[in-house]
Each structure stands twice: as C-alpha cells, then as structure tokens.
Amino acid sequence: MIEVRVPRLNSNDTHYIVVEWVAEEGSRVAEGDPLVVVETSKATEEIAAEGEGVVRRLLPEGAEIEPGQTVAHLLPGSEPLAGLEDPRRDVAPGHRPQDDGVVITEPARALMASAGVSEERVRALGVRLVRRADIERLAARPETQEPPAPPYPQHERVTLGRAQRRTAELVAESHRTVPAAFTALTVEVDAALAMARTATRSYRTLVGLPELLVRAAGLLRDRFPLFFAEAEPDGVVRLAPAAHVGVTFDTGKGLAVPVVRDAGTRSLAEVSKDLMDFRRASMGDGFRERDLRDPSTVVTLHTDPGVAFAVPVVFPGHTSALSLPAVRTELELDGEGAPVARQVVNLGVAYDHRVLNGRDAVAFLVAARELLRSPEQLA
C-alpha cells in the first residue's frame, strides 16, 4: 500500500483545502497520474501518484488538511475497498458545503465578487465543485450577466478572503518574532532606466527597475550572505543555498510572492522573462505552488506614482526584505551651479536586527546602488 501525503507546498501555510479529486474512488492509477487538487492561500496544486494502485480516498472535497497529512491510499488491485464512513467528515467549518453539497473554491468566490456573478447563478450550474473556470464561463455571458456588486456591502460585516487572512497572520507573526529595523538610501537610476529601455527592445520582454533590482540582489548574495539567511535559536544563522528572490504581486486578488530562482547565476533576460510570466499569472489563473516556494529574500514593489518610502515586512524565516518605491525627479546643481534633473528612488532594506546591524544595511544598499549606477554589470 502507498500512502499519498500532501507535501509542504507553501512555507507560509499550515493548512490547505482539498478542492477537487481528479482520480475516481476505486480507479486504478499509474505513477505520475493526477490524484487530487489542493488549495493553499495563494494557489492550487495538483498532487500526483508516486506509484500505481487502486485509489481509496480518505478525505472529501472541502476538507482542511495539514502538510504531510495522508489524503489517500493506493492499494494493490487485489485488495477490497472500504467506503468512506462520512463523505463530509473533517471538512473545515469555513469550507463546509452547504446543504446542496456545492463547494465553491476561494478563487471562484473572489471572481464572483469582482465579476458580479451571483451565488444563485453559480448553484444553478448543477456541479458539485465550482472552480474559477466555471465563473469565467458565467461572466462571459453578457445576456445574463448581472451588474457588478459593490466591493463591500453597506452597513454589513465583511469577511476577508483566505489569502488576506493568511497575509494578516504573517504580518502579525513577523511583528511578534522579528525585531526589524529599516534603512533607505537615495539611488540615481538614470543609467539603469536607459539600460532597461534598451534591454526591453533587445529581449522583447519588459525590463525595468524591478528586474534590475532582482538581478542585483542575486549578485550580492555571495558578498552579503547574512541577508539571505534564516535566524535559528541560540545565535545560529542558516545561510540560504542560493539567491532565490521573491517579488511581491498584488493585482487585487491577494498578495502573492512568486520567486525568481538562482537570481545570482541567471541572466537579466531570464530574470525578466520570469517576472513577465509572473505578471501574466497574477492577472490570469494565478500562480503554481512551485512559483512560490522557498524565497531567501524578498523585493517588495511599491511603484505607484508618488510613493516615496515603503517599509517592508521581514517574513518569518527571512533576515531581510528590499523595498522599491516610485521613481521621482530631483534637481541638483552641476559643477557650474546650473540645475540638472536626475531620476532617483529611495531604495530601502528592512532587516532582522538580531542578525544584521545598520552598518551592514548601509553597506548592502551602497553595493546595490553601485550596480544600478553601472547597470551593464547586471546583463
């Protein structure tokens, strides 16, 4: 017998939701065949069979599970199957199907709200598990589409989405456990912006300051390993094996932090392609769990016009987080006393003060500034 256990898909989550069984109860599957889809706070992930056998499901759709929990057994074909005692056991109260047995996934509910699709229309579909794709089909029918609902009902309590609730937990945990400090440095970015425009034409993908900063952070990992680390008890620090740089994305569906892997060893063209793929995912069907795994530091983007400073949260398990606010224009005097315009940003870093000090933060930011001043080093 093979036990099908759910791996830890997202280092920030302690619980997932079983949203869809792909393999039928009693069916025979081969190694690599999809078995079940689980939902984390950021994405959905398909769990595949690690061997062959006959499927016995242990949990129903809608059940809340923990990383490492067994969700199914794969039995030899000769063994009889025992039915489930209760098809709704272990279903978390917040995700329990209503009396009609319909389960609506969190991504589907989020799209229902933004697209103005009512729950009555959804339940009229006659399916047991409603996914985002079902809502997209309903929203594409202009002859029956209802006017969009207001974002929040008047004079009523609003229940935040699962992704936002998980963000709240992370922020609270960070403030409880990480004694963070923050330092910012003004960085001239005229040369970086010019190089980014050239690279955009050359690579045929968008290159801007986020791409350049992710690449710069990756190159700094060997010189500043404590910025890519995890603090452990008794003054021990575990260094990250590589510069896996997370980047914040929030397009109204909740905060997500997809990860550019090995940013120190990959080219700017490869980094820019990753970020372009992440932009598409953030506006489309969402991220895969492998996109979100194991960042060793994070670049937080606050590039809306007028944002001058942003103090990021140092995620539990990290020692640093970089912040990139909006570019602004400054005037300075040249050698002859004439005003000259330059483009600048207030590049910031929040850091775990148990591991790093202000001198370390300044040295890190100065090194990042020099890379952005000479952006040919980032290609």
66-109 pLDDT tens trace:
888 999 999 986 554 554 444 334 444 444 444 455 667 666 77
pLDDT tier for residue 201 given thresholds of 50, 70 and 90? very high
Residues 6+ apart with CB under 8 A from 266: 218, 260
Percent of the chain's residues with pLDDT above 70: 84
20-59 pLDDT tens trace:
888 888 888 888 888 888 877 667 788 888 889 999 999 8
119-167 pLDDT tens trace:
888 877 766 567 777 787 788 765 444 555 556 566 677 777 777 787 8
312-353 pLDDT tens trace:
999 999 999 999 999 999 988 888 888 899 999 999 999 999
How many Cβ atoms are within 10 Å of 207's Cβ, its own excluded?
Answer: 29
Its CATH architecture, for the domain 2-93, is: Beta Barrel (2.40)
Q: Which CATH superfamily is domain 179-378 in?
A: Chloramphenicol acetyltransferase-like domain (3.30.559.10)
Where are the domain boundaries for CATH 2.40.50.100 in the chain?
A: 2-93
How many Cβ atoms are within 10 Å of 94's Cβ, its own excluded?
Answer: 12
Question: Number of helices and strands (H, E) in the chain?
Answer: 8, 19
The residue count of the chain comes to: 379
Supply 104's token pair. Answer: 């609506």
Where are the domain boundaries for CATH 3.30.559.10 in the chain?
A: 179-378
Q: Would you call 157 exposed, middle or buried from its count of C-beta atoms within 10 A (0-12, 13-18, 19+)?
A: exposed
Q: What is this structure's pTM?
A: 0.67
Whether the per-residue pLDDT at 223 is higher than 90: the answer is yes
Q: What angle do CA 301, 306, 308 make, to 5 degrees?
A: 65
Strands (E), 206-325: 229-232, 236-239, 245-247, 259-260, 297-302, 320-325
CA-based nearest residue to 144, from 121, 127, 123: 121
254-298 pLDDT tens trace:
788 999 999 999 999 999 999 999 988 888 767 888 888 889 999
DSSP string of 186-231, one letter each residue? EEE-HHHHHHHHHHHHHHTS---HHHHHHHHHHHHTTT-GGGSEEE
The 3-state DSSP class for residue 303 equals coil
Residues 6+ apart with CB under 8 A from 379: 195, 199, 267, 268
